[in-house]
Structure 1
Amino acid sequence: MLEETGIAVGPASGNIPNFAGADMAAYNLSLTSEWQAAQTVKCNPDPPQIPIRLRALYAGKVLYVPVPALTQQFPYLRLDPNVLRVKGVSFELAATSEGYMMHGERIEFDEVPALDFCIVGSVAVSRAGGRTGKGAGFADLETGIFREMGTVKPDTPMVTLVHSSQLVAPERVPMMAHDSPLTMIATEAELIRVPPAGCVPAGVDWDLVQPDQFRDIPFLAALRDRLAARDSGEGE
């Protein structure tokens, strides 16, 4: 539908689709008090979030961005606007996936500090806070890891930016126990605040992690074992 209507910018199928009006969605999000107060921001690496990543850097916020599909030996990159200025790297370049892969600082999951604001990519969302991405489960998995580590708190804003035509009925994106509900949805037309969820997942349900995720994400099994060892040590 996004391609047929011309809303999509580039191919939509198989992607977190870029869309006409992504800059306005970023603007609408930038007006919120939560965004303005945030200093550390996690953002997905997809094209429709380029405008909000650019706004973050110009506002002096430190960006934490996962490598696409978490498939590298290093899972995350840090983009500090002060460091980029010293290096002479333009924010316009650093806001793109190619730019931050070149100029971001490679870090591990446990080197990401407490996050003030989390942005996830979506294919479809509901006003009740449900979302779906491309179906690989990366966003929910990384959020679960951060919740388990205390990097993301129960009240940390969980936000997405989509075109208004990506809003669907709640029954089309049912929430499962391991899903993190959205707290805000920014579109080109409005900012939607989702009613508070009754509960959010406390961490990763490792029993639901698929064999292909352990196969395709190089550090995942080691991270699971590290977290298990930490929790075992705390219980002694």
Structure 2
Amino acid sequence: MNVDQAKQAIRERVWALLESGLAAPAGVHGRIPSFFGADRAAERLAELPEWQAAKVVKAVPDKAQQPVRARALREGKLVYMAVPKLAEPKPFSLLAPAELSVPADEAASKNVAAKIGRKVDVDEMKPVDLIVCGSVAVNRRGVRLGKGAGYSDIEVALLQEAGLIGPETTIVTTVHPLQVIEDELPETDHDFSVDVIVTPDFVIRCPDPRRPQGLLWDDLPPEKIARIPVLEARHKNIR
């Protein structure tokens, strides 16, 4: 079994566990799980000093992290969300509380944010204090698995290359307790790990976070580069 197969086997196991344990709605396979208790996880995250100190948050657009995005906007934080599949020339949407035309809870939804968020390129972004990512599974060392598409890794690599994140930037994932597993999860060169795991019931601080230094072009298939405008533009500049 290769690394990709090993990762997928763990994803399938966790998706099945969430459904059988009634910890998420049916239909989580292939997705970042929209787990029950996501709002309580957001409340627990908001108690952490890293959250309270953060003024700029980069968050994934998944439904599980919607309560986190809503809370950030209510508290006056700037929120950057990736455009789905990074499929636009300006790959992030900026949600600025002072500019919102709808309530924060509504603006935090993926579909509304896509409509009202101001699209920005990486070079237009402010330094990011806190990254909130979704996960299918994560272990206590902070090694995580997404749904397998690799977009979160690309987003973090783009921010790293642009100098918008550094060792002082906290990366956190919010998950259901059933998503925290004891396995040694396989890692590849482009994977990042998280500093903090937040569930509705507990917080885990992870040792020795892992941060790739930027985009690893040899790991990116040509067809993926062609589908992501920001990658295609950068790739042309380095050839």
TM surpasses 0.5: yes
**Any gaps of 5 or more consecutive residues in structure 2?**
1-16
8 Å contact from structure 2 (residues 127, 165) kept in 1 = yes
Give the drift of 1:184. 0.3
8 Å contact from structure 2 (residues 191, 212) kept in 1 = yes
Give 1:1-236 correspondences, 5 Å limit. 1-9=17-25, 11-84=27-100, 87=101, 89-171=102-184, 173-197=185-209, 200-226=211-237, 228=238
Paired with 1:225 and 1:180, the residues of 2 have a C-alpha distance of 25
TM, length-normalised to structure 2? 0.88
8 Å contact from structure 1 (residues 128, 170) kept in 2 = no
Aligned alpha-carbon RMSD (Å): 1.5
Q: Which amino acid aligns with 2:24?
A: A
8 Å contact from structure 2 (residues 158, 214) kept in 1 = yes
**Any gaps of 5 or more consecutive residues in structure 1?**
230-236
Per-residue CA distance 1:29-50 (angstroms, 9 max, x = gap): 1101010000000000000001
Per-residue CA distance 1:17-68 (angstroms, 9 max, x = gap): 1011101111111101010000000000000001100110011000000011
Percent pairwise identity: 39
Cα pair distance change 1:224/1:142, threshold 3 Å: farther
8 Å contact from structure 2 (residues 94, 120) kept in 1 = yes
* Matched residue count: 223
8 Å contact from structure 1 (residues 130, 170) kept in 2 = no
Give the drift of 1:111. 1.3
Q: Which amino acid aligns with 2:222?
A: P
